[in-house]
A and B are shown apart, each in its own frame.
Chain A
Amino acid sequence: MAKNLLRNALRTCMRGGMLLSAVTFMAHGAKAQDGAADAQIERGRYLAIAGDCLACHTAPGGKPFAGGLDLKTPFGIITASNITSDRETGIGSWTLQQFDGAVRHGKSPTRYLYPAMPYTAYVKITDADLADLWAYIRTIPPVSNRVVANKLPFPYNIRALMIGWNMLFFNRSPFTPDTSKSAQVNRGAYLVEGLEHCGTCHTTKNAFGGDTRAAYQGTSLQGWYAPDLSNNTHTGLGGWSADDIVTYLRAGTNRHTAASGPMTETIENSTQHLTDADLQAIAAYFKSLPQRTVTVPTPLPPGNRQMMTGAREFVVQCSACHVSNGAGIANMIPTLQNNPAVNAPNPDSLINIVLRGTNGPVTAANPTGAAMPSFGWKLHDDQIAGILTYIRNSMGNAAPAVLASDVGRARKAIDAQQAVWH
């Protein structure tokens, strides 16, 4: 028995024993191949993590990559497809060319894809990386799961519309290195614009869902405001060092903040698994973006009625975790002082977090996972509006007031609970 125990112990140790779910699964997905093929699959596995394919192509509680997650877009629900190697319901019968068509050109063998699949970003993927990715995807064990991909209402359910959309909004140009920038910045740009598809959430979309020119300047989607990543200290990453960015993407927390909402999953599933060199490259890229000037509003005076009630509510409801001066706890509880996310022109994320709470990021670098509880059941719209207005106009912040009606609309939109107290 002892031999057994010891052997088990050693075996698990060698496996690593502490890998996260996605990685564990992916490791199992790879079949034994010869050395070169193994290396290619391994590279592809890494790229799949960078591209966070798992996040959309796996339904809650479903088999990995077997599809079925409903993506709620402004145009209706699009369901992610089954990309396992099942020949009937997955992509087991595809060729590399067909895979390329879907990933980089938005066209499967039978139909046009919707840009919920970020082919507008993936078009930047190099041929070599695409081949590696395909080598890995082919090793995913088949899962039979037929997905009804298109639940859009008319006219968006007409896939042929995408031909016109692509003409207007799909920039098919591949990634072109900027020779005036370092190799590191170019590597960062390649990852950010391509596989990591940061702009999918962080770049403002036009009425048709196409990117505007306001790259990485933040935008609202599904009840969340993906914050400004541009180089300004008021609402963007201007005040963050490259190390802050790296730490955030690896741990989900840093000395300023903790991830919340959809970014939590992106970090857990994707960015925490990137190599240090790639994280440094991403940081270098963001730090290389041009300085952007934003107009900083004048904060509301402390005597403002909302400010006064907000200040009182803050002490009672918020200070236990965020500290009475808003300083927070490094790597755990976000500071509210001089916080760009607090200054966001659009308070959607702030309202969402207060109403429903948010899970903290759980990463190998910081497994703490300190979460914020929901306050929607406890606080009324005007209380939440007062607290947020106070935070947004004190502690070094300045941003437009939040109205009770904003909170009320959000409460309805994200289906948050009504307050129980009258």
Chain B
Amino acid sequence: MKRRDVIKGGLVLMATSTLASIYKPAYSKTYVGGSGAWRATPPPPLSVVDGSRLVYLTADEARLVGAIFDVLIPADELGMGATEAGCVTFLDHQLAGPYGTAAKDYKLGPVVEGLPQQGPQSIMTPAEIYRKGLAEFEQAVHAKFDKSFTDLSEEQKIAFLKSIESGAIAFDTLKSDQFFVLLLQNVREGYLADPMYGGNRDMVGWKLVGFPGAIYDYRDWIVSKRGKKIDIHPISLLGRA
């Protein structure tokens, strides 16, 4: 019996009287005591994303996201800006993966709007939200300035993003303020996640705040460095010390 049949049939009320004696399913595993050490299936090794080409965003989308991200996290004396740090590459790969498809979300209907405290009810995925949101973002820019966001002055960009953040400028269908929250969350993730995900180049985000990165042992410091500045070059998960 296929899983979809189970779902269709509503197995809840199904009788279990006609039972075959032994059946070994493909993924479910039985572990019997006394038969040696049990090991999990190893996850695939970690790897570094390839930033040389886009995997979800179009070139235009990537340019627009980069321009927005560089306003949210600009280059200054504290470190490089979001795009240079790889945040667009980060987002591109995130949207192409399980995050982009909201693979973990509960998506069954009915889908109805609820009270704020009931949490997000939309079943649009981040990948879908970006596709639509970036288009509506650009439409809103055109409606106001008659040019592309990338062509605005720095002051115009900041002012426009503030009105998106507050919801003062609305999109055609999406909620502009919610799209802003997503942009801000993702650019921070890109700037601060392990560099293997494509962003945080040279661990710029970690150096900004003095975060040591993928260190797993602070026993020597928990007392000796209590309340004291720690000067350490951060280390990434796949980097060299």
Tell me if B30 is interfacial: C-beta within 8 Å of chain A.
Answer: no
A378 to B214, CA, bound (A): 13
Min C-beta distance of A293 to chain B, whole Å: 37
Known contacts A24-B34, A316-B214, A324 near B240 by CB under 8 Å: no
Quick one: which of A313, A317, A319, A377 contacts B45, CB cutoff 8 A?
A: A377
Instruction: Output the residue of A18, A21, A377, A421 with the most chain B CB within 10 A.
Output: A421
Given the complex, which residues of A lie within 8 Å of B36, measured CB to CB?
21, 362
Interface size class of B (residues with CB under 8 A): 20 to 34
Tell me if A420 is interfacial: C-beta within 8 Å of chain B.
Answer: yes
Chain A positions 228-264 with a Cβ under 8 Å from a chain B Cβ: none
A417 to B35, CA, bound (A): 28
B219 contacts A383, C-beta separation under 8 Å: no
A378 to B46, CA, bound (A): 8
A421 to B48, CA, bound (A): 7
Tell me if B60 is interfacial: C-beta within 8 Å of chain A.
Answer: no
Tell me if B220 is interfacial: C-beta within 8 Å of chain A.
Answer: yes
Tell me if A11 is interfacial: C-beta within 8 Å of chain B.
Answer: no
B235 contacts A323, C-beta separation under 8 Å: no
Closest to A25 in B: B34
Tell me if B216 is interfacial: C-beta within 8 Å of chain A.
Answer: yes
Known contacts A316-B214, A324-B217, A417 near B45 by CB under 8 Å: yes
Closest to A374 in B: B42
Interface size class of A (residues with CB under 8 A): 20 to 34
Chain B positions 200-222 with a Cβ under 8 Å from a chain A Cβ: 214-217, 219-220
Min C-beta distance of A119 to chain B, whole Å: 28
B48 contacts A324, C-beta separation under 8 Å: no
Min C-beta distance of B225 to chain A, whole Å: 13
Known contacts A19-B34, A320-B217, A324-B220, A378 near B240 by CB under 8 Å: no
Tell me if A145 is interfacial: C-beta within 8 Å of chain B.
Answer: no
Tell me if B185 is interfacial: C-beta within 8 Å of chain A.
Answer: no
Name 14 interchain pairs, CB-CB below 8 A, sorted by A: A20-B34, A312-B241, A315-B215, A315-B217, A316-B214, A316-B215, A319-B216, A319-B217, A324-B217, A362-B36, A383-B240, A420-B48, A421-B47, A421-B48
Closest 3 CB pairs of A and B: A320-B216, A377-B45, A312-B241
